[in-house]
Amino acid sequence: MGYPLSGTTVYCLYTHTGASGTTADLETTEAEIAAALDEMHPDDRTIAIRLLNIYEGVLDEEDEAGDGLEIYKELEMDNLPRALAQVDWSGTAAEIAGRLMSNLILKHALPNANHRCSISLLETYLEFCSREDALKFSMPHTHTPAFEWQEWVNEYIRESKRILTIRRNNVRFDALRDAGCEVVVRKGDIGIHLAEWNLDMHYREAWTEYAQLHEHLCIGFAEEVTRRGGAPALGELSGLTKQEFASLLRE
């Protein structure tokens, strides 16, 4: 089907086959979650439990606001150890924290709030690293009481969502650009100017290239957090390994 795109806004509604509604509509049971945790390596299990606790805190905040948290997919427990396995746990504290955040977002294991929960786990990781090096790190405020991202954080989140969208759709977007489309606007009014992105590649190549770009973005976010949090040295000092991080979480 052809559309004259020049100077025209075209609206496309796409539906998905995932979950919908709020977290009350999730099909995953507590028994299934417990069984999935039992199958994980102890270090992965410890980190996964902390992430789930963070997610539960987000749910409580949303319930207090009176709206409940909308979901668009089921909880995918198997993706948590897969995300942790993708993290390179060598390098500076900021680098590892950024990789941890990035891979949790890329795997999108949670039904929603993956960015919020991944940033909260990044905060925990950096706090433990600063404690080990006797630094005074305090996580800068990343959102207002109304859960609106402040300006400096919002730029990272919006760029993250652009990368995620292009990573899944580079072939489609390349065809749209060839047809004359200049901008794709995704949910949240996030514009993607197609001329600014490398789209002409096999989708598997794009899957890898944009994952690396996303990780680079999140490392930059982590380094910005350490500067704003009063501990820029975390951008230079060695970070904790997965085993060390999990051990501190257990304690």
SS3 of 134-189? CCCCCCCCCECCCCCECHHHHHHHHHHHHHHHHHHHHHHHHHHHHCCCCEEEECCC
User: Above 90 in pLDDT, residue 128?
Assistant: yes
Q: Of 60, 31, 33, give the one whose Cα is nearest residue 48.
A: 33
What pLDDT score does 145 carry? 57
pLDDT digits (tens, 9 = 90+) for 57-70: 988 887 777 767 77
User: Above 90 in pLDDT, residue 4?
Assistant: no
What pLDDT score does 223 carry? 97
What pLDDT score does 17 carry? 58
What pLDDT score does 10 carry? 76
What pLDDT score does 23 carry? 63
- Is residue 93 within 8 A of residue 237, CB to CB? The reply is yes
Under the banding of pLDDT at 50, 70 and 90, the label for residue 95 is very high
DSSP state of 77: T
- In one-letter notation, the amino acid at residue 167 is R
What pLDDT score does 174 carry? 96
User: Above 80 in pLDDT, residue 108?
Assistant: yes
What pLDDT score does 179 carry? 86
What pLDDT score does 64 carry? 77
DSSP state of 110: S
pLDDT digits (tens, 9 = 90+) for 143-189: 555 545 577 888 999 999 999 999 999 999 999 999 888 999 988 88
Dihedral sign for Cα atoms in the order 33, 37, 38, 40: positive
- Is residue 93 within 8 A of residue 235, CB to CB? The reply is yes
pTM of the model: 0.89
User: Above 90 in pLDDT, residue 92?
Assistant: yes
What is the Cα–Cα distance from 104 to 36, expressed in whole angstroms? 17
User: How does the average pLDDT of the chain come out, rounded?
Assistant: 89
- Is residue 206 within 8 A of residue 134, CB to CB? The reply is no
- Is residue 134 within 8 A of residue 165, CB to CB? The reply is no
What pLDDT score does 5 carry? 66
* Residue of 73 and 136 predicted with greater confidence: 136
pLDDT digits (tens, 9 = 90+) for 203-251: 999 999 999 999 999 999 999 999 999 999 999 999 999 999 999 999 9
What pLDDT score does 215 carry? 98
